[in-house]
């Protein structure tokens, strides 16, 4: 089989939802501008040779509905030739698109695919506008099929004995690592500057417009402390331990990568930055969906003929501190190689975008450290886990 190579990858900064700097920026526009920026980094690139645009999205409706993948292809590439498709595996949607693109390239079905994801949690509420649980499912005692992520985080904390104090320390450290990364410009080469035109009223009550570029993640908080986190009330359960401070932030963002075959590399006469090694997904009880990586990680390692010790850097999506700690504890993962620049508790979690965003962050950081194998992994709603392995070239 062919190998699948990554030659470019860019993301937006991540904005807070629903009142952050992307609150009025449509997700299709956000994604299209990210793709357009990426294409412009390749001199003389022929956009018509792209085989597909695969877009991950966890709530594909309203402003990100109507097969938003095809709309993003049209808007970002500004030609009719390239098709587009939307993929939904909730929080793993962005990573799933990379895996689909790589599988098509490895099988010979394609030579060049743009893959990634976008999510606006400012425009679309969690769960969408009209969730309709199946009565027969609920009446048979399977309410957990529809549990929100917060309830599953509480269940994981209970089942895996994750203490509130440890969750708050984990959350604090996520912010500290993210703030340090921003101060050191660790994300600078990854981020597409997105221009925002904001309308406001001046002192004379007249409409004015000001423009600014969004190129720094909005989520990390300099004012947070362990003491402040300790004072927050549980959100999802009486006497619970999951708070707004030790949970991932609702966010807006987009991220995309260009994945190609070896023949396409020769055509472009360009060196790849990484090879997509393998990918696995796994299922588990929905009520403890947060520990999905515990099942997905061993699965992808076995398929790749690798061991956990071979993985030098890991991006583990911090949906909640409780589930992140449970995963680290259960697999005995070295915390020093996990989320070295902070995670979703500080940087945000734009659902369908996150898998692609984490892949871009992983590849960039591994290049800086001259490492070989890295992994992106996350839990997934309704009881799933996902894990993908990358090799830096």
Predicted confidence (pLDDT) at residue 195 exceeds the cutoff of 80: yes
Average pLDDT value for residue range 124-153: 91
- Report the sign of the C-alpha dihedral through residues 257, 261, 264, 270, in that order: positive
112 as an active site residue: the answer is: no
For position 249, what pLDDT does the model report? 95
For residues 6 and 257, is the Cβ–Cβ distance under 8 A?
yes
For position 236, what pLDDT does the model report? 94
Tokens of 57: 């999205």
Which pLDDT tens digit goes with each residue over 226-268?
Answer: 999 999 999 999 999 999 999 999 999 999 999 999 999 999 9
For residues 15 and 252, is the Cβ–Cβ distance under 8 A?
yes
For position 208, what pLDDT does the model report? 87
Q: Long-range contacts of range 123-127, CB-CB < 8 Å, 24 or more positions apart?
A: 123/26, 123/27, 123/62, 123/63, 123/64, 124/59, 124/61, 124/62, 124/63, 124/64, 125/59, 126/59, 126/250, 127/59
Tokens of 390: 């990358």
Strand partners, 384: 283, 380
What proportion of the chain, given as a percentage, has pLDDT over 90? 93
For position 42, what pLDDT does the model report? 94
Confidence tier at 210 by pLDDT (50, 70, 90) = confident
How distant, in Å, are the alpha carbons of 51, 110, 164, 286, 372 from that of 38? 16, 19, 42, 37, 24
For position 202, what pLDDT does the model report? 85
Q: Phi first, then psi: what are they for 271, rounded to 5°?
A: -90, 140
Contact residues for 152 (Cβ-Cβ < 8 A; gap 6+):
144, 286, 287, 288, 289, 290, 323
349 as an active site residue: the answer is: yes
Choose the catalytic residue: 91, 112, 214, 353.
91
Which pLDDT tens digit goes with each residue over 53-77?
Answer: 999 999 999 999 999 999 999 999 9
Question: What average pLDDT does the structure give for the chain?
Answer: 96
Q: How far apart are CA 324 and CA 177, in angstroms?
A: 16
Confidence tier at 367 by pLDDT (50, 70, 90) = very high
Average pLDDT value for residue range 139-144: 89
Predicted confidence (pLDDT) at residue 1 exceeds the cutoff of 80: no
Choose the catalytic residue: 112, 214, 353, 379.
379
The whole model's pTM is what? 0.96
For residues 355 and 58, is the Cβ–Cβ distance under 8 A?
no
Choose the catalytic residue: 112, 175, 214, 349.
349
For residues 29 and 122, is the Cβ–Cβ distance under 8 A?
no
């Amino acid at each position: 089989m062919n190998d699948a190579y990554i030659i470019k990858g860019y993301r937006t900064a991540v904005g807070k939802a629903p009142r952050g700097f992307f609150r009025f920026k449509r997700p299709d526009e956000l994604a299209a501008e990210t793709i357009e920026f990426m294409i412009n980094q390749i001199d003389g690139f022929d956009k018509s040779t792209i085989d597909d645009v695969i877009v991950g999205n966890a709530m594909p409706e309203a402003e990100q509905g109507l097969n938003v993948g095809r709309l993003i292809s049209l808007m970002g590439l500004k030609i009719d030739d390239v098709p587009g498709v939307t993929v939904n595996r909730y929080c793993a949607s962005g990573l799933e698109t990379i895996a689909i693109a790589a599988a098509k390239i490895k099988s010979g079905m394609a030579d060049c695919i743009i893959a990634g994801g976008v999510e606006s949690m400012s425009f679309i509420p969690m769960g969408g506008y009209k969730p309709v649980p199946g009565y027969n499912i609920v009446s048979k005692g399977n309410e957990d099929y529809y549990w929100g992520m917060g309830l599953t985080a509480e269940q994981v904390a209970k089942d895996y004995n994750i203490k509130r104090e440890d969750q708050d320390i984990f959350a604090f450290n996520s912010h500290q690592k993210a703030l340090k990364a921003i101060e050191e410009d660790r994300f600078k080469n990854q981020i597409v500057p997105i221009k925002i035109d904001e309308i406001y009223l001046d002192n004379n009550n007249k409409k004015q417009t000001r423009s600014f570029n969004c190129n720094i993640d909005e989520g990390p908080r300099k004012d947070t402390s362990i003491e402040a986190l300790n004072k927050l009330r549980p959100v999802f359960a009486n006497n619970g331990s999951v708070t707004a401070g030790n949970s991932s932030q609702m966010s807006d963002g987009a991220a995309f990568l260009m994945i190609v075959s070896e023949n396409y590399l020769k055509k472009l006469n360009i060196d790849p930055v990484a090879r997509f090694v393998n990918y696995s997904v796994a299922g588990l009880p929905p009520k403890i969906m947060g520990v999905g990586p515990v099942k997905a990680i061993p699965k992808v390692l076995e398929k790749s003929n690798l061991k956990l010790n071979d993985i030098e850097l890991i991006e583990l999506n911090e949906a909640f501190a409780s589930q992140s700690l449970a995963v680290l504890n259960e697999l005995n993962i070295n915390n020093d190689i996990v989320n070295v620049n902070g995670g979703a508790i500080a940087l945000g979690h734009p659902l369908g975008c996150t898998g692609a965003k984490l892949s871009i962050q992983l590849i960039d950081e591994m290049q800086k450290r001259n490492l070989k194998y890295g992994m992106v992994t996350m839990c997934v709603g309704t009881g799933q886990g996902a894990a993908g392995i990358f090799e830096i070239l």
